[in-house]
Amino acid sequence: MLQTTVFSPSPGALQLNHNHNRRIFSWGRGSVGVNSSTSNTWRQSLFVSAKPVLEDGVLSVNGKELLTKVPENVVVTPLTNSSAFVGATSETATSRHVFKLGVIRDVRLLSLFRFKLWWMIPRVGNTGSDIPVETQMLLVQAKEGPDFNALKEAAPYILFLPVLDGEFRSSLQGNSSNELEFCVESGDPAIVTSQSPKAVFVNCGNHPFDLLKESMKILEKHFGTFSLRESKQMPGMLDWFGWCTWDAFYQGVNPQGIREGLKSLSQGGTPAKFLIIDDGWQDTSNEFQIEGEPFVEGSQFGGRLNSIQENNKFRTTTNKEAESETPSGLKEFVSEIKGNFGLKYVYVWHALLGYWGGLLPNALGTKKYNPKLRYPVQSPGNLANMRDLAMDCMEKYGVGAIDPAKVYQFYDDLHGYLVSQDVDGVKVDVQNILETISTGLGGRVSLTRQFQQALEKSIATHFQDNSIICCMGQSTDSIYHSKKSAITRASDDYYPENPTTQTLHVAAVAFNSIFLGEVVVPDWDMFYSRHDAAEFHAAARAVGGCGVYVSDKPGQHDFEILKRLVLPDGSILRARYPGRPSRDCLFVDPVMDGKSLLKIWNLNKCNGVVGIFNCQGAGKWPCVENIVEVKASAAELSGQVSPADIEYFEEVSGKHWTGDCAVYSFTKGIIHVMTWLLS
């Protein structure tokens, strides 16, 4: 059975009007039309067997011209029947090169690029000038003939994946002359090269999701530095409802607040079985925040770790023994809340370098890890996009970087201590910081590999459930070193106070999951269940195939929404795959073009599901110079949906499916059954 639901981020009543084969849904800001009589042609998966060929300045893929005016220094190294590495050579050796690959135009393209140091978002376009700096995945659909309008859905897809070539990390970008370029950089002026022959992997196929899967399998085998999602151990917390303390308390998290939040969720019938104690539990100091003086925005990122133990909020000291709400220590508190609230998993937060500002040099609890104060330096690619407050402050205040030779000892000590306190796992944040401090430490690729291997070794040693959530680590330095880590945050933060980012959050995760979902389970982050966009976010998690956790303040819950996601025992019904856009959404902008809906498909154990989201008009993508004003009427949209929107549907439909489909109205509680005509 196919299930479809339509969501718009503003609150309102869902209305259902029936008119023959058409269903019109109105949700607050507008309406969405669903046509059940869509073409019933199944999309067959066919992997094209045609190597990329470079001849007379033209790079052809599957017999079609893709890049023209290719420079003579570009080289192509065939890999499989349909794939190759593309690179270039230079007469000079340096730590950073930008090479031209050729002109690309009159195509459909989807870029996934880092708009901040930590995070990716999508961008669609038709020419090289539409490809942003720091693109980490580029999916192209080439024209069928000289007329761009001749481009058909059946046209082959070409995938560009900038990879790690030795000690150099590569990324893609376009320029004003519609040329596709790639940048390679080591992150250390002492590590130089004059050539990068295998900087970009190119592959082609007729099925976009098979193309991604097969390409990542090829790269996994070729490099041996990362593993695919399907081969990794999945942490048990993924299948249980969770609560994160961040947006509930921010750094003011405390034991009594945690008790109150767990109690109110349990009493409402959606008990949290998974808890993340986020930033605010650690023993830190901050010389940039002086008591009695005004708070300086961003100064929180200058804090440094004093020791691997908990702070005084979670530990009774001599002066606070009379305070009954303060536990004797972290172990007592974790044991207490597990016993009182039936928690199965308690995770705690820490940064890759211990804390935002790293370790405090010469502190009694950290000096054995030989921390050294370093001032991060961002690459020109990062500086070309959007500045980030956290990064700007860390550049200003510096970070106490762990000696790479001591990094495993640090993780081993920290995680060993946490296990002794009955903690079950960790959320490890601020991971991309390594690329900014790699000078003199072997470069960004080598440094990331060293830290990632040490981190995963410690996780495997201490936590038997592969219990780690990675965060702020969307650079390919980290992605292509993800050997065991199975969960990674796939979006910028959830910002409950910013109404313009709600639709962007959902759209960004769906598109990022096309790439990230091959290596990890994309994490959609927390959300408030009592919020104008709560149902919008809840629906996204329902089709996302991700963990489900909220960050409600104690007592501030919408149990009507939560009970649609959470069973009485605290478990969730997680979809099978990472939720991704349907094929007809790959090259459209569901946030800013004023006309396109976002359809996210997935499979459950017994059926297929499509979530239809109206993301138009609420916000705009960062790093867009020519803003297209979305008219108010864009809130009322129509579109088509059918079982053909669900990839791999045959896995659940089987041979005897009769074409039965259902459209369900959450607010009305009504199911409308339709029949999809089979050929």
**Model pLDDT for residues 111-126, shown as the tens digit of each residue:** 999 999 999 999 999 9
pLDDT at residue 221, as a whole number: 97
Determine which of 147-156, 230-239, 294-303, 327-336 has the lowest per-residue pLDDT on average: 147-156
User: Residue 544 pLDDT > 60, yes or no?
Assistant: yes
- C-alpha–C-alpha distance, residues 194 and 92, integer Å: 5
**Model pLDDT for residues 400-441, shown as the tens digit of each residue:** 999 999 999 999 999 999 999 999 999 999 999 999 999 999
pLDDT at residue 400, as a whole number: 98
pLDDT at residue 24, as a whole number: 26
The CA-CA-CA angle for residues 116, 118, 122, to 5°, reads: 60
Which amino acid is it at 452? Q
User: Residue 47 pLDDT > 70, yes or no?
Assistant: no
Span 164-173, average pLDDT: 98
Handedness of CA 582, 587, 593, 595 (dihedral sign): negative
pLDDT at residue 676, as a whole number: 78
Query: 477 falls in which pLDDT band (50, 70, 90)?
Result: very high
The encoded tokens of residue 64 equal 């079609």
Q: Which residue pairs from 375-380 have beta carbons closer than 8 angstroms and sit at least 24 positions apart in sequence?
A: 375/399, 376/433, 376/436, 376/437, 377/436, 377/437, 377/439, 378/117, 378/436, 379/96, 379/185, 379/187, 379/435, 379/436, 380/96
pLDDT at residue 30, as a whole number: 30
User: Residue 304 pLDDT > 90, yes or no?
Assistant: yes
Query: 1 falls in which pLDDT band (50, 70, 90)?
Result: very low
**Model pLDDT for residues 255-294, shown as the tens digit of each residue:** 999 999 999 999 999 999 999 999 999 999 999 998 888 8
Q: Please, what is the average pLDDT of the chain?
A: 89
pLDDT at residue 643, as a whole number: 87
261-271 as b/e, with b when 16 or more CB fall inside 10 Å? bbbbbbebebb
Span 123-152, average pLDDT: 82
Span 163-167, average pLDDT: 97
Quote the percentage of the chain above a pLDDT of 90.
77
**Model pLDDT for residues 586-641, shown as the tens digit of each residue:** 999 999 999 999 999 999 988 899 999 999 989 999 988 755 554 444 567 888 88
The encoded tokens of residue 343 equal 């928690």
pLDDT at residue 634, as a whole number: 52
Query: 43 falls in which pLDDT band (50, 70, 90)?
Result: very low
447-469 as b/e, with b when 16 or more CB fall inside 10 Å? bbbbbbbbbbebbeebbeebbbb
Query: 558 falls in which pLDDT band (50, 70, 90)?
Result: very high
pLDDT at residue 207, as a whole number: 95
> Please, is 41 exposed, middle or buried when counting C-beta atoms within 10 Å of its C-beta (0-12, 13-18, 19+)?
exposed
Query: How far from 13 is each of 7, 112, 150, 273, 383, CA to CA, in Å?
Result: 11, 35, 41, 32, 44
Handedness of CA 282, 283, 285, 290 (dihedral sign): positive
Query: 145 falls in which pLDDT band (50, 70, 90)?
Result: low
DSSP secondary structure code for residue 415 in this structure? H
pLDDT at residue 6, as a whole number: 55
Q: Please give the residue that has the higher pLDDT: either 172 or 63.
A: 172
- Listed in sequence order, the residues at least 6 apart from 598 whose beta carbon sits closer than 8 Å to its beta carbon are 506, 507, 510, 581, 585, 590, 612, 613, 614, 615
- C-alpha–C-alpha distance, residues 17 and 30, integer Å: 14
Quote the percentage of the chain above a pLDDT of 70.
88
Determine which of 7-21, 145-159, 265-279, 433-447 has the lowest per-residue pLDDT on average: 7-21
User: Residue 31 pLDDT > 80, yes or no?
Assistant: no
pLDDT at residue 192, as a whole number: 98
Q: Please give the residue that has the higher pLDDT: either 630 or 223.
A: 223
Query: 4 falls in which pLDDT band (50, 70, 90)?
Result: low
Cα radius of gyration rounded to whole Å, the chain:
25
